[in-house]
Amino acid sequence: MEEMNPPPIAPIETTPPKRRGCFFYGCIVSLVLAFVIGTVFVLTMAYIIKRANAMVADYTDTQPATLPHDSMPASELKDLKDRLAVFGQALDAHSNVPPFILTGHDINGLMNDAFSTAQAPMDKFKNHLYVAVEDSRIKGQVSMAADKIVHVPFIHTEGRYLNGAVAFKVVLTNQQLSVSIDQIEVKGKPLPEQFMSGLRQANFAQNAQNDPSNSAAIGRFETIEIKDGKIVITPKKPEAQ
């Protein structure tokens, strides 16, 4: 009897796995990088916000400071403005004119008058600044709500007050005006010396002098100096102008 061989088994066709292209792996790498960068960014921002809020807490108070009250009667303010007008007219006419002297009381009177009619953002300083002329320095005191100065999301300035003082020197010699910070106090404490050392070297009037109109105005004065608690502005002699 003839043996019958079983029919051959057809080989099972297998489809090789589809290879992932460079685009696929590029997307994966991009997603991983985006996740890492996003995480680092969030952590960095959280750290910055935490540090910023810590600085707000360190350098601001929960209550405003009481500034000295220095009001100038309307008649006295008018006399001061008249003296300034006469001084300016004499300068324009190249006439001999004695030095113009300003006290801290004069500066506060002019400053409060200017702020009372100022537009935003300068109007926010009304009743929040006080100036005194002490020996050879001008000292300005400020007490303002911190959120009026800077308002940034997540930085907790609401209900905080910046109470500080800045003492600076003003000198004009050889047509070079110098305005330099001598001391800064916040919450009654001076700023650390590592901050102050750089600030003391800066001349905050330098940019103003680079403007031709400002430079021409400054050039009309011989000296500006602070002595005995007064600001003394000495114009140039007519022959020197």
Within a domain: residue 230? yes
Question: Which residues form the domain of 178?
Answer: 74-240
Within a domain: residue 178? yes
Q: Is the pLDDT of residue 29 over 70?
A: no
Q: What is the pLDDT of residues 120-147, one digit of tens each?
A: 677 778 888 899 998 889 999 999 888 8
Report the pLDDT value the prediction gives residue 50, as an integer from 0 to 100: 83
Report the pLDDT value the prediction gives residue 147, as an integer from 0 to 100: 85
Angle at the Cα of 141 from the Cα atoms of 135 and 144, rounded to 5 degrees: 175
Weakest mean pLDDT among 89-93, 110-114, 215-219: 215-219
Tally of structural domains, the chain = 1
Report the pLDDT value the prediction gives residue 3, as an integer from 0 to 100: 52
Q: Is the pLDDT of residue 189 over 90?
A: no
Within a domain: residue 131? yes
Q: What is the pLDDT of residues 35-91, one digit of tens each?
A: 666 667 667 667 767 888 888 888 889 999 999 989 999 999 999 999 999 999 998
Within a domain: residue 111? yes
Q: Is the pLDDT of residue 14 over 60?
A: no
Report the pLDDT value the prediction gives residue 85, as an integer from 0 to 100: 92
Report the pLDDT value the prediction gives residue 38, as an integer from 0 to 100: 63
Query: CA-CA distance, 54 to 50, in Å (whole number)?
Result: 6
What burial class does residue 164 get, using C-beta atoms within 10 Å of its C-beta: 0-12 exposed, 13-18 middle, 19+ buried?
A: buried
What burial class does residue 130 get, using C-beta atoms within 10 Å of its C-beta: 0-12 exposed, 13-18 middle, 19+ buried?
A: buried
Residue type, position 71, single letter: S
Within a domain: residue 6? no
- The alpha carbon torsion through 91, 92, 93, 98 (nearest 10 deg) reads -10
Q: What is the pLDDT of residues 134-184, one digit of tens each?
A: 888 999 999 988 888 777 787 888 889 989 999 988 898 888 888 888 888
Within a domain: residue 156? yes
Burial 104-126 (b: 16+ CB within 10 A, else e): bbbbbbbbbeebeeeeeeeeebe
Query: CA-CA distance, 205 to 209, in Å (whole number)?
Result: 6
Report the pLDDT value the prediction gives residue 73, as an integer from 0 to 100: 95
- In a 13 Å sphere around the CA of 166, the CA atoms on its Cβ side amount to 14
Within a domain: residue 84? yes
Residue 193: pLDDT band by 50, 70, 90 thresholds?
Answer: confident
Pick 167 or 2 by higher pLDDT.
167
Q: Contact, 136 vs 171, CB < 8 A?
A: no
**Closest residue by Cα to residue 130 from 118, 115, 151, 117:** 115
Report the pLDDT value the prediction gives residue 76, as an integer from 0 to 100: 96
Within a domain: residue 45? no
Structure-token pair, residue 88: 């300016």
β-pair partners for 220: none
Full 3-state SS string of 144-172: EEHHHHCCCCCCCCCCCEEEEEEEEEEEE
Q: What is the pTM of this model?
A: 0.73
Q: Is the pLDDT of residue 16 over 60?
A: no
